[in-house]
Amino acid sequence: MLTTNPFDDDKLREECGIFGVSGASGAAALTALGLHALQHRGQEAAGITSFDGTLFHTHRAMGHVAGNFDRDDVIRGLPGEVACGHVRYSTTGETALRNVQPLYADLSTGGFAIAHNGNISNAMKLRRELVRRGSIFQSTSDTETIIHLVATSNYRTLLDRFIDALKQVEGAYSLIVMTPEGMIACRDPLGIRPLVMGRLDGAVIFASETVALDVCGATFERAVEPGELVIVQGTEIRSIHPFQAVDARPCIFEWVYFSRPDSIAGDQSVYSVRKEIGAQLALEAPVDADLVIPVPDSGVPAAIGYAQASGIPFELGIIRSHYVGRTFIQPGDKVRHLGVKLKHNANRALIRGKKVVLIDDSIVRGTTSLKIVQMMREAGAAEVHMRIASPPTRHSCFYGVDTPERAKLLAAKLDLGGMTDFIHADSLSFVSIEGLYKALNAARGDKPSYCDACFTGDYPTTLTDHDESSTVDQFAMLAERVA
């Protein structure tokens, strides 16, 4: 089996996408529409849970929203005016239906459904403690830890139990929770993962990105604030801030790659920010070239910005096919190699004899960049220069992004010259961390205003599970050396 998406396989995987609606007739159908708009955030599985005032109804499936939630029989099986949904790319837990969200449990307070975007960085430690106290887990997802913390809390009301649970977790979370009493939407105190709120004919809607509001015809009201819990009963809302206030650190990679370019994040157009990153890159890393070529599709806005700032013509030198399935059976190595070109192919007539600047959003393992440079060489490019619209990715993410372990990150292993040689480019440059912040109209001072740990190693929270795992690994290595 070969993935026919070779340029996307070497990307940092989007975390997940969540969507919720309260007070709308046909809430499940609206949720399915919203999940379509968030499909880029998770393409492994999807699920929707609805509440009809008496019973909870859930449908979860592996694969995309289309094909699973565009059937009348499925939507009819999800009645009610309240619903929440989730698209998933697993960052913790195995790829299995039992891990597909929303997760649901019957608690002493009634039904409890939860959809989570992010990653609980002390989930394994909490899980061990809960199992010792008698909890029985039904999934390997870190999200289920929250359910058990709520179930075992000594507080009386469900809201207090939920707050008690959240005060025990570390890491990143944007959550939509459904109970018989109503819906709760919240973000972690640092606001690492995004969540916005909108209205549609009185109904209250929550989504990971504003594009989901646009697609379902809702009006954007505001972002859910870091550390805020928004409690919805029908169409009435109230807000509380139960956590100690801290300086927010939203994930900077939302503007670089994760969010759709037609979304608004942090009151800024994602598309405009990406163009400005490209312009900064042109100022910091100019090159004598004939063409600026984006790596489709995520490199397009930055390439436009680079071309406009440099005066070098922008051209589509790599053509992407949108009609190829994700995988297909390969009978041999020769066909497997040719299969790479099913999804992306060089525009040979344009490239031959030209000095080209390739613009991409990031380099992870470097294997994708190597393929792209090779493609340009085979198409007859005279020179191939690579420009990257983010700083070098040198550190793993522990907040809901499926990052390779650090040893597999190209920038963690090699310096700039080594990376340039590895991808066989004539030159390679990354936008600086200062240039990235400038594109966001911010400055990286003593207290950075974004989570940029994948570039800098400056993690905004403790990393209990990772630190404990590292300690175990160190002891194991020491024991091996002693033996």
Q: What is the CATH number of the domain that holds 349?
A: 3.40.50.2020
- The arithmetic mean of pLDDT across residues 84-103, rounded, is 84
Residue 429 placed within a domain: yes
Side-chain half-sphere of 188: how many Cα atoms within 13 Å? 28
Residue 261 placed within a domain: no
Q: CA–CA separation, 103 vs 179, rounded Å?
A: 12
Long-range contacts of the stretch 465-470 (C-beta < 8 A, 24+): 465/121, 465/122, 465/123, 465/124, 465/125, 466/121, 466/398, 468/124, 468/125
Residue 260 placed within a domain: no
Name the residue among 430, 413, 431 with its Cα closest to residue 422.
Answer: 413
pLDDT band at 92 (very low <50, low <70, confident <90, very high): low
- Point out the annotated binding site for [4Fe-4S] cluster: 251, 397, 451, 454
165 and 197, same structural domain?
Answer: yes
- Point out the annotated binding site: 251, 298, 360-361, 397, 451, 454
279 and 399, same structural domain?
Answer: yes
Amino acid at position 466, single letter = H
168 and 57, same structural domain?
Answer: yes
Domain count, the chain: 2
Name the residue among 322, 379, 378 with its Cα closest to residue 347.
Answer: 379
Burial of 325 from C-beta contacts in 10 A (0-12 / 13-18 / 19+): exposed
Residue 259 placed within a domain: no
**CA torsion through residues 81, 214, 41, 442, sign:** negative
What's residue 9's pLDDT? 53
244 and 315, same structural domain?
Answer: no
CB 216 within 8 Å of CB 204: no
Q: Which residues contact 235 (CB under 8 A, 6 or more apart)?
A: 22, 23, 202, 203, 204
69 and 166, same structural domain?
Answer: yes
**% of the chain beyond a pLDDT of 70:** 89
Q: Which tens digits make up the pLDDT trace of 104-118?
A: 999 999 999 999 999
What's residue 289's pLDDT? 98
- The arithmetic mean of pLDDT across residues 291-303, rounded, is 96
CATH code of the domain covering residue 126: 3.60.20.10
Tokens matching residue 440: 């966001």
Q: Which of 16, 84, 186, 216 is catalytic?
A: 16
Residue 475 placed within a domain: no
Residue 331 placed within a domain: no
Residue 123 placed within a domain: yes
CB 60 within 8 Å of CB 47: yes
212 and 70, same structural domain?
Answer: yes
Backbone angles phi, psi at 342, to 5 degrees: -65, -35
Least trusted range by pLDDT, from 153-162, 232-241, 319-328, 440-449: 319-328
Q: How close are the terminal C-alpha atoms of the chain, in Å?
A: 41
Backbone angles phi, psi at 141, to 5 degrees: -80, 140
425 and 307, same structural domain?
Answer: yes
177 and 86, same structural domain?
Answer: yes
Residue 481 placed within a domain: no
Q: Which residues contact 362 (CB under 8 A, 6 or more apart)?
A: 11, 12, 256, 257, 388, 389, 390, 393
Q: CA–CA separation, 190 vs 226, rounded Å?
A: 6
Domain carrying residue 308: 269-321+340-456
Our answer to whether residue 186 is catalytic in this structure is no
Q: CA–CA separation, 120 vs 108, rounded Å?
A: 24
56 and 145, same structural domain?
Answer: yes
What's residue 7's pLDDT? 45
277 and 234, same structural domain?
Answer: no
289 and 195, same structural domain?
Answer: no
Q: Which tens digits make up the pLDDT trace of 237-278?
A: 999 999 999 999 999 999 999 999 999 999 999 999 999 999
Q: Which tens digits make up the pLDDT trace of 186-215?
A: 999 999 999 999 999 999 999 999 999 999
* Residue that wins the pLDDT comparison between 444 and 376: 376
- Point out the annotated binding site for Mg(2+): 298, 360-361
283 and 225, same structural domain?
Answer: no
Tokens matching residue 137: 């887990």
Backbone angles phi, psi at 470, to 5 degrees: -65, -40
Tokens matching residue 192: 């690492």
